[in-house]
Amino acid sequence: MKKLVVLLTLFVASLNLSAQNKNYISVMEKNVAVLDSTRDVSQLQSLANTFERIASAEKNEWLPNYYAAYCYVNMTYKTKGDMVDTYCDKAELFIKKADSINQNNSEIYSLKAQIASARISVNPMTRGQKYGAIAGELREKAKSLDATNPRPYFLDGMAYFHTPAMFGGGKDKAKPAYEKALKLYETFKPASSIAPNWGKHTTEYYLKKCTE
Amino acid sequence: MKKTILSFILILLCIQGIIAQTKISGKVSDQHKQSVPGVNVYIKNSYDGASTGADGTFSFTVNDTGEVTLVTSFIGFEQQEKKIRLIGKDIVFNPIIKEELNELKVVTISAGTIEASDEKKMTVLKPLDIVTTAGAQADIVGALKTLPGSQQIGESEGLFVRGGTGAETKTIIDGMVVNNPYFTGSPDIASRGRFSPFLFKGTVFSTGGYSAQYGQAMSSVIALETQDLPDRTSSTLAFSSVGIGGGHNKLWKEKNMSVGFDLNYSNLLPYFKTVAQTPEYTRAPVFTGGSFNFRKKTSSTGILKFYGYFNTSDLGIKTLSIDSTNGFKNLFELNNTDIYTNLTYKERLGEKWLFNIGASYSTNVDKIKTYFDTIRSQSDLTQARLVLSRSIKKLSIFRIGAEYQYAYDGFKIDGKRAYYNFHRNLNSYDNYTASFAEADIYLTSKLVWRAGVRSDYSMLMKKMVISPRTSIAYKLGTFSQVSLAYGQFYQKPDRDFLFYPQLPSYNKSTHYIANIQRVDDYHTLRVEVYYKKYDNLTSIISKDTLANVSGYGYAKGLDVFWRDKKTIKNVDYWLSYTYLDTKRKYLNYPVEVMPSFAATHTATLVFKKFTEKLNLSTGFTYSYASGRPYYNPNNPEFMSDKTIEFNSLGVNAAYLKQIGNCFSVLAVSVTNVFGFDQVYGYRYSYDNMQRQAITPPAKRFFFIGLFLSFGENRSKEVINNNN
C-alpha cells in the first residue's frame, strides 16, 4: 500500500512534469504563431512580455529569450531616434541570455547582427560605418555556424538594400543576397515547431522590390 | 483498494483545483500618477502574469500557493519585485514604477557649453558637422565660428568669444593645454588650426562659465578629446589643389591596440600662380608635417594613448609700405617648427574611482626675417596632469586634480636701424601649478548643482589666485532645461608681457550666464544671455618697459542658436545670432571703448543638403557681422570709426562614391562666392595721411580635393569574441 502511494505520487508528479513540458511547447507555439502577424508596438510589447515571463520560468530554454529579443528588435522599426537605442539595449539583454544558454548558435548571431543594424537608423551618417561593420561580422559568424540558415543572407540583403549605393549598398547588391536566402528558405527545416523560421515572406517581398 | 486509489487521485486533483484560483489585478502608474500601458506584471519563475492594457490595468489568475515574488517590469523603468503570500484570496496590487535614469532623462549643465559628440546624445553638433560645414575648410575653429558667441575675425587666428581676444580662448587636448594650436601666420592673415578634426571624437566649445578643470582662459575653452581605438585598419590618401597627404592606421586583430601615422605636404605655389593674391609672395607657403599615434587598451577599462605631431612651415611675403613714397615694400619671411606630444592613461580604480593621468611636451620656434630685423621666438611647454574622479550614488561625481607646467619663452632680435644696430635676448621661465576640486551634485535627476574651486600659482607672478565656479541646471521637461552659471577666471598676461622687466599680474574675468534650451532628436533651440566683467586687464604705461593691470571692461549680450534637421527633407540647417555689447580699456587704449575685435551683431546660416540619388552632399554658410571699430588717428574721438559690414557666403559640395573597399570623396569649395568686399580694419601711415585697408589676401579661396579611404574589408573575417 505504502509502495503504491509512493508510486502513484510519482506518477502524478511525472504527469505534471510532462504536462509542464507540453505546456511550454504549446504556449510557445501559440505565441510564435502570432509573431508574423504582429506589427503593432503595443502588441509586440505584450508578446515580448509573454516571452519574458516564459523565460523567467524556463531557465534552460534559449528560445523565450531569443523571441523576446526578436520582439524588441522589431519594435525598433516602429519608432525613431533614441527609442531605437532603448529597444536595442533591451533586445541585447535578452539575446545575451539566450547566448549564454545556447552558445555558438547561428540564429542568435543573426539576431545580434539585426540589433546592430537597427542601431544605424538613429544616425546613419555617423553610425553607418561602425555598426555596419559590426553587423557584417556577426552575419558572417552566423553563416559559418550554420551554412543552411537563410536568415544571415536575408539580413545581408536588408543591409545592402538600406545602404546607399555610394557607401557600397544598393538594390543590385541586395538582389543576389535575397536570392541566396530564398534558395535556403526552400530547403530550410526548423529544428522544432518553435525554432526560428521567419523571414521568407519578407525576402520575397524585397526580392520583388529589387527587380522592379 | 481501487476505491482508495481513485479517491486519492481525486483528492490530489481537487486540492490542485481548489487552491489554483487566485486573481491578482490592479493598475500600474508612474511617479506622475499616469497609468502605464505595456507593463509586464508576473510571478517570478512562472508563466503567470499579464501585460497592462491601454489604461494601465492588468488581471491574471495564479495556480500557486504560498510565498511568491511579484515582478513589475517595463522598458525604461526600474524593475520592481515584491514578495506576496498567496492564500487563495484575490489580491489587488497597484504598483508605482520609477523611470530608469539615463542620460536623456537626466539634466546636464548646459550654460556656456556647446558640445559635439557621437557618444552623448544631447549634443548640438556631431564631429562630422565640423568637417562638412561650408566655409569652415575642415578647420575646427572655422566650424566653431558658425556658432553663437564667436566673432567673424579674419585678420588674426583664434576664436574671439564674447568680447574676449583670441588669446582668451584656450585649446585643450585630452586635458592638456596646447600652446600653439594654430599655424604661425603672416601679419593680418588668419591661419588655420593645426589639428585635423578627424582626430577627435568629442569637442566641447565653452563660451563661458566652464568647469574648474580649466584654467588660464578668461573667455573660452575648446576641449578636444582624441579618438579611442579605430573601428578597423584603414589607409587614407588625399590629393588637393594645395597639397598631398596620406596615412595608415593599423588595428590589431585582438582589437586592443592600434598604431597610426600620417604625412602631409602642402605647397601653395601652384595655387598662387593660378589665383592672384594681394600680397606679393616671395616664398609661397609650404607646410611639411606629420603625426603619429599609438593607442592600447590595457584592460577592459584602461586605455593608454599617445599622440605626436610635427610640422614645419615656410613663407615669405612682401607688402607695399604705407610710409614710403617710392614704392618700398616691407618684407616678412617666416620659418616655423612646431612639435606637440601628448600621452595619457585612463583607468578605473575599483568600482567608484577613475583616474586620468597625462603628460605633454611641446615646442614652437618661429624664425622671422624682415629687411631690418632677424627674430627668433620660441615657446616650450612641459606639463603633467592628474585627475581623480569618484562617482557618488548613480549620478553625482566628485573630481579632484592637479596640474604642473614648466614654460619657457624666448625672444631674440637682431635689429638694424639707420644709425644703430641693436640686439635683445629675452628669456622667461615659469613654474606653474594648479589644483582643483569640483562636484556635480544631483539633488534629483532634474536638478544638478556644480560647485568647484580652482587655485593657480605662477612663479612669475609670485601670487596664488583662487577662482570659485558654480552652476546649476534644472530640467523643465523631456526636452528642455534651464541653466545658470557663475565663475571667476584668471589668466597670465599675454606672451609679449612676459618679457617686460616687471611682469604685470593676472588678468581676471567674472561670468554670469543664464541659458534655456530645448533639444530633441531633430531640433535644437538655445538662448543664452550673459554678463562678463573684466578686471585687471593689462595696460601699457610705456611700451616694452612698463605695464600694469589697471585695465578693465565688460561684455554683455545674447546668443541664439537654432538647428532644424527635419522641416525640409534631407536638409539640415542652423542659424546663429550673436548680440554683443562690450567695452574695455586695456593695452594702449586711453578710454574705455568697444574694441576692434567686436561687432554688435553677428549672424550665421549654415545649410547642408544631401541628395542621395546623386551621391552628392552640398552646403553653404552665410555669415554676417556689423561693422567693427577701428582706430582713425584723424578722428579725435578714439575708435569711433567703423568698418563696412562683413558678408561672406561660402559653398561646398562633396561627391561620395564607394569603389570596392575604397571610399572616395571628391570635395570642392569656394569662400566668399559673391566676392563681397571684406575689410577688417585700417592701418595708417606715420603722418596719418595714408591708410591701407586690412583685407583677406584674395577675395575668394578655391579648393578642390580628392580623399580616398581604404578600409580593410573585414566583412569576411569571422570574429570570435564579440560580447
Q: Does A56 touch chain B (CB under 8 A)?
A: yes
Residues 18-37 of A with CB under 8 A from B: 23, 27
Return the C-alpha cell found at B255: 582589437
**Residue B370 is assigned to a structural domain of this protein:** yes
Cα dihedral angle (A89, A92, A93, A94), rounded to 10 degrees?
Answer: 130
Say which CATH number the domain at A178 has: 1.25.40
Chains A and B: how many Cβ contacts under 8 Å?
106
Of A54, A81, A136, the CB nearest to B47: A54
Q: Give pLDDT tens digits for B314-373.
A: 999 998 888 887 888 899 999 999 999 999 999 999 888 999 999 999 999 999 999 999
Number of domains into which chain A is organized: 2
Same structural domain for residues A152 and A72? no
Successive 10-residue mean pLDDT values, chain B, 723 residues: 58 51 90 91 91 92 86 91 88 89 75 75 72 81 92 91 96 94 86 87 90 95 91 89 93 91 94 91 94 94 96 93 84 96 94 94 96 95 97 90 97 89 93 96 91 96 95 91 95 92 93 93 92 96 91 97 90 95 96 96 94 85 96 94 96 84 86 94 91 92 90 40 26
Contacts of B556 (CB under 8 A, 6+ apart): B529, B530, B531, B532, B581, B582
pTM of this prediction exceeds 0.80: yes
Q: Which of B104, B520, B657 sits opposite A166 (nearest CB)?
A: B657
Considering chain A, what is the average pLDDT of its residues?
A: 87
**Contact A53/B at CB under 8 A:** yes
Model confidence pLDDT, tens digit, residues A17-43: 555 677 899 999 999 988 878 778 999
Same domain, A127 and A204: yes
CATH of the domain at B370: 2.40.170.20
Judgement on whether residues A144 and A182 belong to the same structural domain of the protein: yes
What is the three-state SS of chain A?
CHHHHHHHHHHHHHHHHHHHHHHHHHHHHHHHHHHCCCCCHHHHHHHHHHHHHHHHHCCCCCHHHHHHHHHHHHHHCCCCCHHHHHHHHHHHHHHHHHHHHCCCCHHHHHHHHHHHHHHHCCCHHHHHHHHHHHHHHHHHHHHHHCCCCCHHHHHHHHHHHHCCHHHCCCHHHHHHHHHHHHHHHHHCCCCCCCCCCCCHHHHHHHHHHHHC
Residues A138 and A180 in one domain: yes
Based on the fold, state whether residues A145 and A45 are members of the same structural domain. no
Chain B interface test: which of A3, A56, A112 (most B C-beta within 10 Å): A56
In terms of residue numbers, what domain contains A138? 104-212
- Is residue B722 situated within a structural domain? no
Residue B380, domain member (yes or no): yes
Nearest CA distance, B233 vs chain A (angstrom): 12
Task: Specify the number of domains making up chain B.
Answer: 2
Clarify whether residues B76 and B201 are in a common domain. no
Strand order, beta sheet including B220-226: B113-117, B200-206, B220-226, B169-173, B176-178
Of the three residues A101, A117, A140, the one that is the final residue of a domain is: A101
For an interface test with B, which of A1, A14, A53 has the most B Cβ atoms less than 10 Å from its Cβ?
A53
**Look-up: residue for cell 566628485?**
B398
Hunting for cell 541570455 — which residue is that? A97
Is residue A7, in this structure, part of any structural domain at all? no
Residues B578, B665, single domain; the answer is: yes
Domain membership flag for residue B492: yes
> Looking at chain A, which residue has its C-alpha nearest residue B520?
A81
- Same domain (yes/no): A94, A128: no
The complex's ipTM?
0.85
Shared-domain flag, residues B459 and B594: yes
Q: Which residues of A touch B715 (CB under 8 A)?
A: 133, 136-137, 140
Predicted confidence band of residue A13 (pLDDT cuts 50, 70, 90)? low
Shared-domain flag, residues B375 and B428: yes
- A8 closest CB neighbour out of B8, B44, B46: B8
pLDDT tens digits, residue range B15-64?
Answer: 554 555 789 999 999 988 899 999 999 999 888 999 999 999 999 988 77
Work out the pLDDT band at A97, boundaries 50, 70, 90.
very high
Name the minimum distance, in Å, from the CA of A195 to any CA of chain B. Answer: 19
Identify the closest residue of chain B to A97 by CA–CA distance: B723
At B713 the pLDDT is 46
pLDDT of B160 reads: 96
Whether chain A has a CB inside 8 Å of the CB on B20: the answer is no
Q: Domain containing B546: what range?
A: 113-711
DSSP 8-class letter at B264? E
**How close A205 gets to chain B, by Cα (Å)?**
23
Asked if B121's CB is within 8 angstroms of A82's CB, the reply is: yes
Domain boundary among A101, A131, A160: A101
Nearest in space to B222 (alpha carbons), one of B68, B364, B114, B63? B114
Do B287 and B176 have their domain in common? Answer: yes
Residue A202 domain flag: yes
All three cell numbers of B154, joined, read: 579674419
Residues 171-210 of A with CB under 8 A from B: none
- CB–CB of A137 and B714 under 8 A? yes
Decide which of A101, A116, A132 is a domain's last residue. A101
Task: Answer whether B3 touches A (CB < 8 Å).
Answer: no
Pair A97, A109 in one domain: no
A77 within domain boundaries: yes
- Grid look-up 486540492 returns B15
The 10s digit of each residue's pLDDT in A176-185 is: 999 999 999 9
Contact A143/A152 with Cβ under 8 angstroms?
yes
